[in-house]
Amino acid sequence: MNRTLLNTALAVGFLALAFAIGVARRSPPSGYEPSIYTATPTLTWLGVGLALAIAIGLTIGTRGPYQAGAMALGGLTVTAVVSLPVIRNYHFQGLGDALTHLGWVRDFTQGTMTPHELFYPGLHSIATAVHMAGGISMERAVMMSVIILFVPFVVFVPLIARAITGTAGAAGFAAIVSWMVLPVNNVATHMGPHTNSNALFIVPVALFAVVAYLGRRGDLERLPFGISPFTFLLIFVGAGILLVHPQQMVNVVVVLAALAGVQMLASLRSANHPISTHPRMHTPAVLLGVLFVLWAAANERFRRAFSGLVYGLFVQDIGTGAEVGQRGGSLTEIGGSLLELFVLMFLVAAIIGTIAALFVLANWLGRTQLDSDARAYITYLALALVPLFGMFLVYFFGTPTMAFRQVGFIYVLLTILGGIALAHLFGWLSGFLTTPGSNALAAIFVSACLVLTLMTLFASPTIYQPTQHVTEQQQFGYDTALETRADERLFAGFGYGISRYGDAYHGTEAGTEINYDGGAGGQVLVEEFERGNYSGAYHGADYYFTVSAFDETRELEVYQELHHSREALEEIEGDPDVNRLISNDEFRMYEVEGE
C-alpha cells in the first residue's frame, strides 16, 4: 500500500473518531438510561467501528510510523468508549462502591478526612485535585479520574510486548488485545469508579519497569552502587498502585517474588542459564513488600478484610457453589442461562487465555523463534501465574468476590502473553496462507473479539445488569430524602438501599455514625411487599420507602418481575398507611406507617 493511501486511511480513522465523539457529545441523556449502548447514537458506534477497523488493519499490516499511528488511533478510540459517561455528560456513573468513593472525595474536600487516613486514597486524591483545580463537580472529577488511570493500560501493554520480543508485530497484537480490556469481567472488576479495578490499569507500568530492569546491561544504565534507575521507577509505580488499591500491589509483590524464585532455581540448575545473567529481583520484591507491610499493618480496614478471608476459609457455608446455583436458577426463570452469560462475558478471555497457554508450552518446547532473553521473559510471566492462581483458589474458597478480582489481575499478564502469542500464531499461519491472507484472518478474528468484549465493557441488560447511570434527578431525590428525614426513621429501598447515597451526600467518613436502615439490610421484605402488606414490609417498623428509575428498570424490566412485580409497586399508591413525600421523574419516596 502506498503512502498516500496509508495517510488517507489514518486521516479517515481519526476523523471518524472525532465525528463519533462529537455526535456522542451532542446527545446527553434526557433521563435514566438502562443501557449506555442503545442510548448512545448509532452514528457514534459507526464512527467507532470505522476507526477501530482502520486501526486494526494498519496495526497488523504495517510497520513503522503508520503502525504507531494506527495503535494510537485504536488506543484513543477505546479510551473514548471508556469515556462515554463523561463525553455524554452523565451526572455520575456507578452505584455501590462508586458512591462510597464519591463520599471519600467529599470527605477530602470538606476536610473531615485527610488522604493519609484512607487505606487507598489514590483515586480520591486525583479526583479531589481535578475537582478543585478544574472547578468541576465532584461527580465529574471522579469519572475523569477513572479515565486518567485507564490510559496507561493501552500505552504500556504494547511497550512491554515490544521490550520482550523486540518485534513490531508482537507490539501491534498486544495493543489490540489491550483494547479488549480483558481485566474487566463485570463480576468483581468494573469499568467505572472502582479502585480495585482502576489499579489494574496501572499495573503494566510496573511490569514495564520490571522488564526494563531485567534487560539493563552495562554500567551506563546504572546509578552508583550498581542500582538501576528502573528500581526507583518500580518502587515509585508500586507505591502508586498501593495508593490506588493495595490488593493489586500485593499481586505485584507476588509477581516480583515469583521472578526472584525463578532466578534462584535457574542459578541452581546452571550458572550459564540465560535467567542467571539477569539482575536479581530480590531487592525490589523485598522493598515493595516492606512498603506494603508498613502501610497496611496499622490499618483497621485491612485487618477486617484479612479476618474475613480467614473466616471464609474455615466456615463451611462460605463459597461460590450455592451462589452460582442460585443465580443460575434465577437466570433460567427470566429466559437466560449461565452458558449464555459465560459466552458473553468470558468467551474471549477464555480463548485468549488458551492461546497464551499453548504459546507458553510451545516456548518451553523450543518451538518458537524467540531469542534466549525473550524466552526467559515468557517463562517469568508464565511461572508468575502459578502463585497468582494459587491466590485465586484461596479467594475462591474464602471470599468469592476477591477471586474474580484476582482473575482481573491474572488477565493483565495474559493480555501481554496473549498479544505476543497471537503475533506468533498468525506469523506461523502466514507460511500456509501467505502474509496478506494471514493478516486478513487475524483482522477478522480480533475484530470479532473486540466487538464481543466492548459490548460487555459496561454493565447493560445484555448481561442482565442495567447500566449504573446516576441521573441528577435521582441523586437530588436521595439528597432531599436525607435532608428531610425526621425522627431517625429508617429507609428501605426497592431492591437497592439508600446507605451508599448517604455516603455520597454526607461523606463516607463524615456519615459513619448515621444509621440508615437499623441494620436490617435496607431493602423491603419481598414476600410481605408482594402481598401488599406494606406496613409489615420492613419488620413492622415505620420507614421511608425509596424507589428510583434504576430500581424499576432492574426489577421490572431486566429481572422481568422475578422478585418484585409492577402491580405491587403501583398499588402502594392507594394504601391508607402510605404517603408520597418526594417525587420526580427518576425518584420517589413514600412514608410508610409500620404495624
The answer on pLDDT for 314 being more than 60 is no
Nearest to 582 by CA among 462, 445, 478: 478
* Segment of 286-295, 300-309, 321-330 carrying the highest mean pLDDT: 286-295
**Cβ of 462: how many Cβ atoms within 10 Å?**
16
**Cβ of 570: how many Cβ atoms within 10 Å?**
9
C-alpha 359/C-alpha 578 separation (Å) is 64
pLDDT at 445: 97
The answer on pLDDT for 459 being more than 50 is yes
Domain ranges of the chain: 3-463, 471-592
**Which band of pLDDT confidence, cut at 50, 70 and 90, is reported for residue 317?**
very low
Across residues 259-280, what is the average pLDDT?
A: 86
**Which band of pLDDT confidence, cut at 50, 70 and 90, is reported for residue 319?**
very low
Tens-digit pLDDT profile for residues 165-218: 999 999 999 999 999 999 999 999 999 999 999 999 999 999 999 999 888 755
pTM over 0.75: yes
Backbone phi and psi for residue 543, each to the nearest 5 degrees, phi listed first: -160, 165
The answer on pLDDT for 312 being more than 90 is no
pLDDT at 301: 64
Tens-digit pLDDT profile for residues 212-263: 988 875 555 566 655 677 888 899 999 999 999 999 999 999 999 999 999 9
Residues near 193 by beta carbon (within 8 Å), at least 6 away in sequence: 93, 94, 97, 98, 101, 102, 123, 142, 143, 145, 146
Tens-digit pLDDT profile for residues 501-526: 999 999 999 988 899 988 778 999 99
**Which band of pLDDT confidence, cut at 50, 70 and 90, is reported for residue 316?**
very low
Residues near 135 by beta carbon (within 8 Å), at least 6 away in sequence: none
Residues near 175 by beta carbon (within 8 Å), at least 6 away in sequence: 59, 71, 74, 75, 154, 157, 158, 161, 419
Tens-digit pLDDT profile for residues 412-457: 999 999 999 999 999 999 988 899 999 999 999 999 999 999 999 9
